[in-house]
Each structure stands twice: as C-alpha cells, then as structure tokens.
Homo-oligomer: A and B are copies of this chain.
Amino acid sequence: MAEFIFPLRVYIEDTDMMGVVYHANYFNYFARARSEWAEQTGFGIDWQNAQEIYFPVHSAKIEYLKPALLHQCVEVVSQIKETRRASLVYDQYLRPAGLNDTILCKAEIKIACVGKDLRPRALPDIFTRETQRDY
C-alpha cells in the first residue's frame, strides 16, 4: 500500500497546559487518518455497516519525538505494514506539513477485524487485495 497523507491543523482543544498537543490526542489524529483512508478507498462506515465488520484498535506502540504546536499545520502519513487473517498493522507518523524529514510522533497500531459480537472475523478478500495493492 502506498502512503496515505492526511493533513490537519492543531486546534486549542488538542493542546494542554504546556501549549502542545496532549499525548492522548495524537491517537485521535491517527484514527482520523485511518477513517479518511477507509472512506476514500471504499471501506468506509457504509461498507463496514453493510458487512457488519468493525475495526477496533487491538494494541499500539507510540513515540513522542517533538511536540506539535497550537495552530501548526501537520500531516499524518499512514501505511499498512502487514495484513493478517483477522488483523492489520498500520505504521503512522505525524510531521509538520510539507517537511518530509521531521517526525513529531510515530506509532505502530494493530487493528482487529471483528463482527457485531466483537469476536474476531477474517478480513474480506477484497479488503486484503486492495490494501496490498500499490496505487
């Protein structure tokens, strides 16, 4: 899968009393990017509801390298690193908009594929095929 780039701006709600993005909120940024990617590739919420497939976060590793600042324009860079039977792993990082060589925060996020009962479910073939394709 090619990199998916999702731009956003840091707003007041995201900051804490240090004037920088609060550590928990980077997870929101990464989740927005995954949702936007899903919407744009046809695996968005309508597809998920039709298939009764959901993608909760299974586990994550995160490293905070430099703080993102109030009103800074940043972008999330996302890539699916690995697709298994009923899970997938994303590599995601945040960088200042247009600055390719600076990483503010990076994470490896494992997503489970579950049904309505929250039990593991195999990823549909079409999902695996599409996400392994370069485009």
Binding site for B on A (CB under 8 A): 9, 11-13, 15-20, 22-25, 27-28, 31-32, 35-36, 39, 44-45, 54, 56-64, 67, 70-71, 118
**Which residue of chain B has its CB nearest to the CB of A15?**
B17
A24 is contacted by which of B28, B35, B70, B71 (Cβ under 8 Å)? B28
User: Could you write out 6 A-B pairs with CB less than 8 Å apart?
Assistant: A16-B16, A17-B20, A24-B25, A24-B31, A27-B27, A57-B64
Instruction: List residues of chain B with CB within 8 A of the CB of A35.
Output: 9, 11-12, 71
Give Cα A13 to B14, complex, Å: 9
CB proximity of A110 to chain B, nearest CB, Å:
9
